[in-house]
Amino acid sequence: MGYPRVSLIWVNYNSGRFLEIAKESLLALTELDYPSYEVIVVDNGSNDASREYVREIAEKYRFKFIGLARNLGFTGGNNVGFRARDKEAKYVVLINNDAIVYKDSLRELVEFIENERAVGAAQGIILSSDNTVDSAGVIMDEVLASHPLYRYKSPGMINRPLAVTYTSGAYSIYRVSSLLDVWHGMEKIFFDFGFGYFDDNVLGLQMWNHGWKCRVYPVKVGIHKASLSFGRASSLRAYLSLRNTLLLNEITNSRYKSVIPIFAFRDAFPRAFRSKDKFYEVIAYAIKDYKRFKPFLVGYRLDIYKAPIMKIEPWNLIKFLGLRRRVTHKIDEELSLFFKDTKK
């Protein structure tokens, strides 16, 4: 087969805390076994030493470098990179600055997606440092919660392509024509204001709503040091999670639409409480900005039932609300078994 042009987008923001990992991530892109690709490095307004550091690496290897004046988040940074792509590129690839990709991974992903013309977004198996699964795609449920498939399990359990609600932006490949289709010709990948946690999930639903599929392929593609940019218990993460769940609920049609805000607030309070900031201020800002961005979504609708979705029976809602962590763990276990046993 001929190998089409691919644009890789690598966004950096204040990676000084994990500079060696970011360096390893960026240098891995110089060793990809693929004949026709470019690397676009976007610095998202970093105010630490990492900005100059990644710029020097980009210049050394003749990558495109774009230095932004302020942080536009995961969504805005990748949108800038998308607009800077080679217009001959058939695919774009998003790679986190804490993900280290394998040498053969890009070629393998392209070979898979080239053979499935209906696939708009795809990924391989992304590993954790202990060689268990970090990401093998995500299934969303009816209360808009996300369930990563096979998390912390052996990658050997995945031996065939899987249809998922959405793929992980840590290392995913997207067909450019599918992105232009879901955005009606606009040069973007995500809603700009999304910043984070209103990105992969929304895009996956957009893909399915426009007739494109999201796939996971049974090939190991790299290692992800997850959440190093946002942090696991940061106030920003708590704020974005609440704000963007409320926004996602506005544009989707779950039969549990009226109770989803209850779940969103239930999850937000402990996250905000664990952050260093005053938790009630985090919640207040999330509500304020939800109201501010809500008008931008008027008239925009996504049917979640066009995507692979895990349904929740009404009598399980109370259990899901009261014992979320235990129930979520059980759901994740059952989903992994379901995808292992089915032949769809």
pLDDT tens-digit profile of 221-237?
A: 999 986 555 555 578 88
For the beta carbon of residue 295, count every other beta carbon within 10 angstroms.
Answer: 7
Residues 6+ apart with CB under 8 A from 239: 272, 282, 285, 286, 289
Structure tokens at 136: 């093998």
Q: Are 87 and 151 in contact (CB under 8 A)?
A: no
* Residue spans in the chain of domains classed CATH 3.90.550.10: 6-224
The model carries a pTM of 0.92
Chain mean pLDDT for the chain: 91
pLDDT < 50 stretches in the chain: 327, 341-344
Q: What is the pLDDT of residue 280?
A: 79
Asked if residue 189 lies in contact with residue 174, where contact means CB atoms within 8 angstroms, the answer is yes
Cα 267 versus chain centre, distance: 20
Q: Using one digit for the tens of pLDDT, what is the confidence trace for 237-247?
A: 889 999 999 99
Determine the pLDDT at residue 316: 79
Residue 48 in 3-state DSSP? coil
* Separation of first and last alpha carbons in the chain: 27
Give the CATH architecture of domain 6-224.
Alpha-Beta Complex (3.90)
Structure tokens at 172: 């995913």
d(CA 89, CA 176): 7
Per-residue pLDDT of 313-332, as tens digits, reads 888 787 776 655 554 555 66
